[in-house]
Structure 1
Amino acid sequence: MFSYRLAAKGKRPFLHIALFMDQHPHSLGGVQTSVMLQKKYLNRNGVKVTIFAPKSKRMVQDPDIKVIPSSYPTIGREYSVVWSLRKASKFCQSQYEAQHFDLVHLQGDFAAASLAIELAKSRNLPLVYTSHTNVDVMANKLIGKPLKIVLLRFFTWQHAHFLKIANYPKVFTAFEYMTFVHRNMDKVLAPSSHYAQLLKDKGVAKEVDVVINGVDDELLTNLKRNTPVPQKPVHFVWAGRMQPEKRLLQTLEAFARAKGKATLDVYGFGPLERAAKNLARARRLSKRVKFHGKLPHREILQVFADADVVMQTSIGFETQGLTVYEAAATGTPTILCDSKISAEMPKGSNWLDDSGTIKGLAKTIKKANKEISEGSTRRETLADNKWLYQSEISKKTIALYKQMIEQKATPASPRT
């Protein structure tokens, strides 16, 4: 049975959530950024969030972040690993004894999953899981399929051994691993409808609710688009990590083939940065294409607001495609190459190239350039953007938390 405790200020009811992650929220990564934004707006609504995560060289002292016993790998100190789940579990249990939680929210897939499940089961707490990452695609890209299988089987064994599960599968894919580990969740969440459907298709869960990653209200409130200059060339923006699955090189080649007077500003960094700059020079794009590196979040949102169109050109990689949502929140339409992401957005708010080819993308760039030059900006399709604000999303999350707690408090409540 749960009870809503009273906040110190205003004596209004609030919940206390234990949130588990595989990496420290101050380290680099999209999940980390999302969790800190969730925490910010849940706190503003009276919900206390205590985060459990391994250490990072970037971590700053925060009483709401509990650093799980962990070790740095031999190279780098950005991320760390939890070697002893038993030791980590004792730490988490001691934290529960000190402050108690109403619900456990897992936003990770490996050590975090084992620890979150163990705490929730031992204390009879509702357990919610948000799947942020398509582990299969990510692992295939980063380490290759053979090593991926080896690591997934180790994590499967580790999870089963820690939780004393006698029988466990011989997994070949991340989805098989996820199906085994996340089979007893009370609620499974995903950041988009298309990724939710994929999780269901792969057997990870029968039901998956969609809760998107939103955009910080504060960054949007004071955002104002600079007045467009008449007759100025159409301005395109591409922003992201410069890695193969993001298709920056294909985008640059398509932009060259589209010709015209349009300009393109590229933001970000990554392993393909040199290749991208070399391609731009080779295709004589230096006057129309500029590279700017990485910008702070507030500044990149201003860049999106001032652009005529933002391009996200990956295919089948994104679980949400946050760049598209951020652009939409600033009122700027997009060029997309993934039909599933396109379908998530307001009708008419993007130009879609679903050919998967450079030729097709060049045609789409040319079409967008022509329409915008003629006055059809498509910005009107994004006039209603409140659904993208994190404050609105947090209200839905709190309602979901309360529902799960109430269901758990009912003895006959079925698990999903």
Structure 2
Amino acid sequence: MHIALFMDQHPHSLGGVQTSVMLQKKYLNRNGVKVTIFAPKSKRMIQDPDIKVIPSSYPTLGREYSVVWSLRKASKFCQSQYEAQHFDLVHLQGDFAAASLAIELAKSRNLPIVYTSHTNVDVMANKLIGKPLKIVLLRFFTWQHAHFLKIAKYPKVFTAFEYMAFVHRNMDKVLAPSSHYAQLLKDKGVATEVDVVINGVDDELLTNLKRNTPVPQKPVHFVWAGRMQPEKRLLQTLEAFARAKGKATLDVYGFGPLERAAKNLARARRLSKRVKFHGKLPHREILQVFADADVVMQTSIGFETQGLTVYEAAATGTPTILCDSKISAEMPKGSNWLDDSGTIKGLAKTIKKANKEISEGSTRRETLADNKWLYQSEISRKTIALYRQMIVEKATPASPRT
């Protein structure tokens, strides 16, 4: 089986989707599935015969990411790759140029196509560029997609969901990384049916993890990890941690635009002895940090399509503090403390409760004893079964109507 996988950014560039795709490729390959990735270039790219770099240009000086300006030129490249090595199925894991190119290849070669929606583009765009510019760009991408695929009529979109519903309307299968995001896609009209396939955790990293033996009477150890941007609510978390008082410690991992503000707040609230900042760690090391923690905090609300940090913590056997009830509902019962108030006061109360319970011996780790469902090898086996089903269905002639 040979899969053509399309992305909007190079898999070696920074980002959660990129990390997920490389992990998918690793375990699909181990199960005998060949994966060829189509993506634009990046300064971080390393030569890989399984990654085909689409003709693209750098729009900024950073050269981390690039854009595909000419879909026609990119399409010729993709078609030439098909001629050299035929594919059995197209898996789209992007929303813009990748979508146009993936759909064009699938239609022209009569291949089944599956789309995984990783990103809530609407929320992300509103926060990064604002609603007015978002609408302008979405309308350009809608026109570009329609013009490239020779679609005469196309909508005047106002939201990313309207754009996605137009672009992804003819997918054979739509996937989402969580039940709550799958429901959102259905509610917004992107698809009538959405299957859930979570982003998993690397088996090898989990197999080699060993939790350090807890020290009796040691203060409860909290961990917060993520990009330091407003929707992740790090500043609110630090303020709540200060209000919760007690002897608990908090280690913060990551970087981002709010790093200086976070450090200043920690100093202002006299948390320097209990709160430490560590920057970004390699994936293997952050999983060890999660394993050694008493509780991992993910405090965003309504932003995550999955909340991978929560799944990674669960895979290491560590419970979480959450502020998003939809993510909480996805996890094993009792494996997290939930603050659904959306307030600093409520979060402080939840931190205090978790600290008290863990100090008294109720660690909640037993709720996460069965974690095989989080292993990428398990998820890949299910994905391969899905691929096979789609290939068979595409090859089977439709029954004539009576």
Q: For this structure pair, what is the TM-score category when the shorter chain's length is used for normalisation?
A: over 0.9
Go from structure 1 to structure 2 and tell me whether the alpha carbon gap of 1:201 and 1:413 turns closer, same or farther (over 3 Å shift): farther
Once the 2 structures are TM-superposed, how far is the Cα of residue 414 of structure 1 from its aligned partner? Answer: 11
Residue 337 of structure 2 aligns to a residue in which SS? strand
Aligned length: 402
Q: What does 1:137-216 align with in structure 2 at a 5 Å threshold?
A: 137-216=123-202
Q: Which position in structure 2 is the counterpart of 1:29?
A: 15
C-alpha separation between the residues in 1 aligned to 2:177 and 2:322? 18
C-alpha separation between the residues in 1 aligned to 2:203 and 2:61? 37
4+ long deviations beyond 3 Å: 413-416
Go from structure 1 to structure 2 and tell me whether the alpha carbon gap of 1:22 and 1:373 turns closer, same or farther (over 3 Å shift): same
C-alpha separation between the residues in 2 aligned to 1:159 and 1:260? 56
Match among 294, 299, 323 for residue 337 of structure 1 = 323
Once the 2 structures are TM-superposed, how far is the Cα of residue 352 of structure 1 from its aligned partner? Answer: 0.1
Residue 377 of structure 1 aligns to a residue in which SS? coil
What are the Cα deviations for residues 5-30 of structure 1, in whole angstroms up to 9, with x where unaligned? xxxxxxxxxx1000000000000000
Q: What does 1:186-265 align with in structure 2 at a 5 Å threshold?
A: 186-265=172-251
C-alpha separation between the residues in 2 aligned to 1:76 and 1:375? 49
Q: Percent identity?
A: 97
What are the Cα deviations for residues 305-341 of structure 1, in whole angstroms up to 9, with x where unaligned? 0000000000000000000000000000000000000
C-alpha separation between the residues in 2 aligned to 1:306 and 1:71? 43
Go from structure 1 to structure 2 and tell me whether the alpha carbon gap of 1:414 and 1:260 turns closer, same or farther (over 3 Å shift): farther
Once the 2 structures are TM-superposed, how far is the Cα of residue 246 of structure 1 from its aligned partner? Answer: 0.1
Kept in 2, the 8 Å contact 1:132–1:191? The answer is yes
C-alpha separation between the residues in 1 aligned to 2:35 and 2:117? 18
Using the size of structure 2 for normalisation, the TM-score is: 0.99
Unaligned runs of at least 5 residues, structure 2: none
What are the Cα deviations for residues 134-179 of structure 1, in whole angstroms up to 9, with x where unaligned? 0000000100000000000000000000000000000000000000
C-alpha separation between the residues in 1 aligned to 2:65 and 2:268? 37
Kept in 2, the 8 Å contact 1:331–1:379? The answer is yes
C-alpha separation between the residues in 2 aligned to 1:309 and 1:323? 12
Go from structure 1 to structure 2 and tell me whether the alpha carbon gap of 1:415 and 1:312 turns closer, same or farther (over 3 Å shift): farther
What are the Cα deviations for residues 30-58 of structure 1, in whole angstroms up to 9, with x where unaligned? 00000000000000000000000000000
C-alpha separation between the residues in 1 aligned to 2:277 and 2:218? 20
Once the 2 structures are TM-superposed, how far is the Cα of residue 76 of structure 1 from its aligned partner? Answer: 1.6
C-alpha separation between the residues in 2 aligned to 1:58 and 1:266? 26
What are the Cα deviations for residues 54-77 of structure 1, in whole angstroms up to 9, with x where unaligned? 000000000000000001113320
Does 1:274 find its partner at 2:260? yes
Once the 2 structures are TM-superposed, how far is the Cα of residue 411 of structure 1 from its aligned partner? Answer: 1.3
Q: CA-atom RMSD, angstroms?
A: 1.5
What are the Cα deviations for residues 328-382 of structure 1, in whole angstroms up to 9, with x where unaligned? 0000000000000000000000000000000000000000000000000000000
Residue 174 of structure 2 aligns to a residue in which SS? strand
C-alpha separation between the residues in 1 aligned to 2:253 and 2:264? 16
Kept in 2, the 8 Å contact 1:185–1:415? The answer is no
C-alpha separation between the residues in 2 aligned to 1:268 and 1:34? 18
C-alpha separation between the residues in 2 aligned to 1:241 and 1:74? 21
Indicate the larger mover: 404-413 or 246-255.
Answer: 404-413
Go from structure 1 to structure 2 and tell me whether the alpha carbon gap of 1:229 and 1:336 turns closer, same or farther (over 3 Å shift): same
Unaligned runs of at least 5 residues, structure 1: 1-14
What are the Cα deviations for residues 102-127 of structure 1, in whole angstroms up to 9, with x where unaligned? 00000000000000000000000000
Indicate the larger mover: 294-303 or 74-83.
Answer: 74-83
Once the 2 structures are TM-superposed, how far is the Cα of residue 415 of structure 1 from its aligned partner? Answer: 15
Residue 402 of structure 1 aligns to a residue in which SS? helix
C-alpha separation between the residues in 1 aligned to 2:24 and 2:399? 27
C-alpha separation between the residues in 1 aligned to 2:397 and 2:133? 44
C-alpha separation between the residues in 2 aligned to 1:271 and 1:249? 12
Kept in 2, the 8 Å contact 1:184–1:415? The answer is no
Kept in 2, the 8 Å contact 1:247–1:313? The answer is yes
C-alpha separation between the residues in 2 aligned to 1:304 and 1:263? 14
Once the 2 structures are TM-superposed, how far is the Cα of residue 249 of structure 1 from its aligned partner? Answer: 0.2
Kept in 2, the 8 Å contact 1:407–1:413? The answer is no
Q: What does 1:57-206 align with in structure 2 at a 5 Å threshold?
A: 57-206=43-192
